[in-house]
Amino acid sequence: MSRFGSAMGLSAIGMASKVLAIAKTMLIAALFGAGASLDAFWVAYTLPLLLPALLTNVVTVAFVPRFMASLEGFEGPEAWRGANTLFTTILLLSVFAAAAMMLWAPVLVGVLAPGLAPETQAEAVRLTRMLMPTIPLLTVSSLLSAISNARERFTLPALEGVLTNVAVIACALALVRPLGVGALIIGVVVGLVAQAIVLVSGNWSMLVRNVRPALDWRHPDFRAPAAHLMPLLIGSAGAILASLVSQFFLSHGESGAISLMAYAMMFAFLPVEVFAQAVITTFYPTFGRHFARGELVQAAEAFADGIRFVLFLTVPCAILLLVYAEPLMVLLLERGEFTASDSRAVATLAAILAVAMVFRAFAYFNHRILHAALKPWLQVGIGLACVATHIVLCALWISDHGAVGVAFAMLSATVLEAFLSVAAAGWVLRIRWHTRLVREIGRLALVALPMALVAVVGFEWIWPPEEQARVRISLVGMGLAAVSLVVGLAVARLVRQPDLQWLLGVLHLRRLANAERP
């Protein structure tokens, strides 16, 4: 399967996961709205997942190029001794971190969300401790996901969102009355256990042949990724710090501000997780191979293809969310404990973050080039500069603009990251001026402009509705959003946009294959 086919296959799984995530979010909104108890959940949910999220990114990025260069095709514990040392060391660190975070949970909650009311902080501490034992479990899943991605077997790691979201929905429905927001924590734990079982089962034969505990810290296959790990840890910690900074400032705002931002980020960054992450995951091993062989021209061509594909998938999503954020929130969230004012607040934040989403996807893809080229400190410098920008802007804007100021700070920092990272990627690839990529971005602009025009005209025609007609008019708005998307696709076909041409070709071949079947 081509890189584009793999990316679209992962996107399909990602879409299923995010459809379930939307259903989960709708259920959470109806049950809890955007109040203090849900703020406690989001704070608790963030803390135990910090280390596994960090490890997933760090191990995957550090391990994949090394695997592609030296371990591919080799079998047995001795061949894998360096990799086994890496895995064993990280697993031991995760056990130690879980114990330490369990003990110091009150301090962590107090530092990261100091503005919460005392009772909300106490609830956040209780929920955090419920999740702490999952840290080693998540670490195992992270390691297995890294191995699967390095072997270009992307399906099993992509199932994580599906399993977790199904578990959270089921537990929320069954346990919300006796446990309140604790039902959501139980659902997260059940989903993570299911994902670990799936990954172990899917990699069982490989694990039996190759993976053993080892602590050979002098092994070259450990030392090379370990040398790459330090800058990655710093850079990834900086990226995580950006979200914690937002939470820190939001905790000083009105009750529910953390929850409102969580809703907005879920919808705004959904295209990154569904589409862009799939493209990044499937292109990254290719970058690793090309850089290992010194094939800069081929790496530059793959980079251009990937950037074009990422933008083709994310720009239309950003346009539709920027324009139709409020009708979407009315339809999906505005029921039960979630009010019309909550819809308007989330829509405002989501519209700002929709623009940030495109630049985030762009920056994430650029960073993979830097990691494949073994230039991680360059990415670290870019990332930390952007985190510092985010902190400064949050401090400047939070008092006058509240959550909106935090969203604009996030957007500004993300735009800066995108421009710095693409300049760095071009330098690593020795690209002075990629004519074909510039031409393709211009072609994408021709697609985006008429689509945006139709979307804006349609929205101005129907909005705002009377209060009693909000749901009906929102449905009309979704229809107009679909019309604007069709306009964009029609223009893309007219200008022969390559990614749409590839997709139409795949669909045509499948129709022919189905027609030839008896």
Give the integer Cα–Cα distance in Å for 253 and 251. 5
The one-character DSSP state at 75 is -
Residue 123 lies in a domain: yes
Residue 386 lies in a domain: no
Residue 87 lies in a domain: yes
Count how many Cα atoms sit within 13 Å of the Cα of residue 456 in the half-sphere of its side chain: 8
Give the integer Cα–Cα distance in Å for 325 and 456. 12
C-alpha angle with apex 147: 359 to 81, nearest 5 degrees? 130
Residue 117 lies in a domain: yes
CB 310 within 8 A of CB 279: yes
Residues in the chain: 518
Residue 101 lies in a domain: yes
At 498 the pLDDT is: 82
Which residue range(s) make up the domain with 87?
A: 36-222
At 71 the pLDDT is: 58
Give the integer Cα–Cα distance in Å for 163 and 20. 9
Total number of domains constituting the chain: 1
Residue 133 lies in a domain: yes
Residue 395 lies in a domain: no
CB 270 within 8 A of CB 18: yes
Q: In which residue ranges of the chain is pLDDT below 70?
A: 1-15, 47-74, 149-154, 157-160, 224-240, 242, 274-276, 432-434, 502, 504-518
Tell how far CA 124 is from the center of its chain. 24
At 174 the pLDDT is: 92
The one-character DSSP state at 444 is H
The one-character DSSP state at 254 is S
Is the C-alpha dihedral spanning 138, 144, 150, 156 positive or negative?
Answer: negative
Residues 6+ apart with CB under 8 A from 326: 343, 344, 347, 463, 474
At 1 the pLDDT is: 47
Q: Tell me: the pLDDT tens digits for 360-394?
A: 888 888 888 887 787 777 877 888 888 889 999 99
Residue 205 lies in a domain: yes
The pair of structure tokens assigned to 423 is: 């300049």
